Amino acid sequence: MSLYNFDLDNIDGLYRLDSAGMLKMLAELPTQCRQAQNAPLPWEERPLAAESITHVVVTGLGGSAIGGDILRVLTAGRMPVPVIVNRDYGLPHFVGPDTLVFAVSYSGNTEETLSSFEEARRRGAALVAVTTGGALAKAAQSCGIPVITVPGGLAPRAAVGYLFFPLLRTLEHLGFWPDAAAEIEEAGEVLKAMHEKSLGPHVPQDKNPAKQLARRLYGRLAVIWGSSGTTEVAAQRWKGQINENAKAPAYWNVFPELNHNEIVGFRFPASILKNVHVVVLRDEGDHPRVQKRMEITAKVIDGAVDGITEVHSQGKGLLARIFSLIYTGDYTSVYLAALYGTDPGPVEVIDYLKRELGKNGAGS
């Protein structure tokens, strides 16, 4: 049933559709920043040695992996050791005793993460588990591997703050990162102001860019473009949130790479392209030539697609700016779910897949 006429300013209606409390979790994201900043980490009792670490790997999937990408983008230009995100059963060949591996799984039961955790253990990596519990916590505890326990009861994708901030704080503890506290605080403040003044359900559609964008994306195929090194992780997150919350397809790519291939594919089939809505994520840190590329690209695709919407980051530091874009995308995806008349919380298809896999193996 089309709910296009669903009134996004009908707050009771929004909450009625939202059985898992995704809106509540979004309202609490600024609080996650504050809580994650003060949460105890196990490094007091079990010091980690930084001297030998030459690489950092974050291994996880879906909502548990995106924090790894935030870490990768945030630290790339400012940290001497690289961060690599691994979404697989195995690990890259280089992983060994000089690699710090964060195995991140909100449930603690994701089979790919459990497998890469075991692989990291076999190779003697410096391992840390980040989870609410499950098989991952058990496996880590049984062999004396430190566990960062995050609060339970949320959808993994809604726990992005809890899953990401401990990674950054650990790098700070190791002396790789200068001042996580100030950056996390700024992110929390920016998100709080965005929730209150522009994105929250109580802000009417004529003043709410996320509600407006949800309307534009309704009935359209969402294509999200970011930039390498700045907004790429936000573009990836938008895609995942539109998929999981609104149960709709979405695709993402980055400048400048998309100028060398994707941009050519905006001629056929014209009928499908007419239903594509492109969202361009913009940030002050985008390379000046990339900014120019965005302007030219908009002219190239303008007549072919339904429309193009630019979304600008907010805040001073890169962390706050990335989170500001993520927040707009998260809210947009939940409002889009309401327009489709679907409950944003449950991800039945993922649950089904995990159950089916579970019949033939240990993890899920």
Is the peptide bond between 269 and the residue preceding it cis, with omega within 30 degrees of 0? yes
* Rounded least distance, CB 128 to ligand F6R, Å: 15
CB 129, CB 101: distance < 8 Å:
no
Q: Which stretch binds ligand F6R (CB under 6 A): 90-98, 102-110, 223-231, 279-287?
A: 102-110
Q: How far apart are CA 321 and CA 186, in angstroms?
A: 10
Q: How far is CA 343 from CA 14, 70, 150, 215, 305, in A?
A: 9, 27, 25, 17, 28
| Binders of ligand F6R in range 172-231 (CB under 6 A) | none
Residue 17 or 155: the one with the smaller Cβ distance to ligand F6R is 155
Site string for ligand F6R, 301-340 (x = CB under 6 A): ----------------------------------------
Is 110 a binder of ligand F6R (CB under 6 A)?
yes
* Rounded least distance, CB 246 to ligand F6R, Å: 13
CB 47, CB 170: distance < 8 Å:
no
Is 363 a binder of ligand F6R (CB under 6 A)?
no
Q: Which stretch binds ligand F6R (CB under 6 A): 105-113, 205-213, 214-222, 322-330?
A: 105-113
Which residues are paired to 99 by β-bridges? 55
Residue 312 or 354: the one with the smaller Cβ distance to ligand F6R is 354
Is 347 a binder of ligand F6R (CB under 6 A)?
yes
CB 105, CB 113: distance < 8 Å:
yes
Considering only 36, 58, 59, 106, the residue that binds ligand F6R (CB under 6 A) is 106
Is 156 a binder of ligand F6R (CB under 6 A)?
yes
Is 155 a binder of ligand F6R (CB under 6 A)?
yes
Q: How far apart are CA 179 and CA 290, in angstroms?
A: 29
* Rounded least distance, CB 18 to ligand F6R, Å: 14
Site string for ligand F6R, 51-80 (x = CB under 6 A): ----------xxxx----------------
Q: How far apart are CA 363 and CA 112, in angstroms?
A: 8
Of the listed 111, 119, 186, 244, which one is catalytic? 244
| Binders of ligand F6R in range 245-304 (CB under 6 A) | none
Catalytic residue list contains 354: yes
Burial of 202 (0-12, 13-18, 19+ CB in 10 A): exposed
Considering only 37, 59, 75, 107, the residue that binds ligand F6R (CB under 6 A) is 107
Q: Which residue is nearest to ligand F6R (CB)?
A: 62
SS3 254: strand
**C-beta neighbour count of 305 within 10 angstroms:** 19
CB 337, CB 246: distance < 8 Å:
yes
Cα-Cα end-to-end distance for the chain: 33
Q: Indicate left, alpha or beta for 11 from its phi (over 0: left) and psi (-120 to 50: alpha).
A: alpha
* Rounded least distance, CB 243 to ligand F6R, Å: 9
Is 344 a binder of ligand F6R (CB under 6 A)?
no
Q: How far apart are CA 321 and CA 323, in angstroms?
A: 5
Is 239 a binder of ligand F6R (CB under 6 A)?
no
Active site residues: 244, 260, 354
Q: Which residue ranges make up the site for ligand F6R (CB under 6 A)? A: 61-64, 105-107, 110, 113, 155-157, 244, 347, 350
